[in-house]
Amino acid sequence: MKKYGCFLFVTMAFVSNLLFAVGVGGSVPNITLPLVSNSSAKVNVAGINSKYVLIDFWASWCAPCRVSMSTLSKLSNSLGSKGFKVIGISLDKDPALAKQFLKKYPASFTQLLDTQGISAQQFGLPKVPTSYLIGPNKKVIGIFPGYNEANLKAIRELVK
């Protein structure tokens, strides 16, 4: 009976992730999260006003995220004139870990905190890091699991 209950729980968790998953062409979930630097200041992710928005999910325990912070900062600066903005979402359960990480690996873009993992669930996050590129029509135009040069090149191509 315990095996059946565990199987059912895992299956339900997987299916719920599929139900909430945001794919290419999908809309950004209406999520409001606090800033890492100031938990009383909140940002509605769907309401970010920019032509292109790259939503980057990260965590302090994620090794590729250490490199991605400076690279995404440079990308944000180089594509900013095209209406491109990067928003980071830390999935750390402890805000202090996110703050320590950003002290060690600073980023020049807005950083939000999701200690409950609600945004990851609503996006259907496949892994950390993963980035979602939102286009001018406020729809997802690209999903980039992991961190690599091919993803960065694809983002540059989409933001023209």
* In the chain, % of residues over pLDDT 90: 85
- Give the strand pairing for 130-134 and 52-58: antiparallel
**pLDDT for the residue 3:** 54
> How much is the average pLDDT of 7-25?
52
Q: Which range of residues forms the domain containing residue 128?
A: 2-158
Over residues 28-72, the pLDDT tens digits come to 999 999 999 999 999 999 999 999 999 999 999 999 999 999 999
How many separate domains does the chain show?
1
CB-based contacts of 40, cutoff 8 Å, min separation 6: 34
CATH number at residue 93: 3.40.30.10
Sorting pLDDT into bands at 50, 70 and 90, what band is 160?
confident
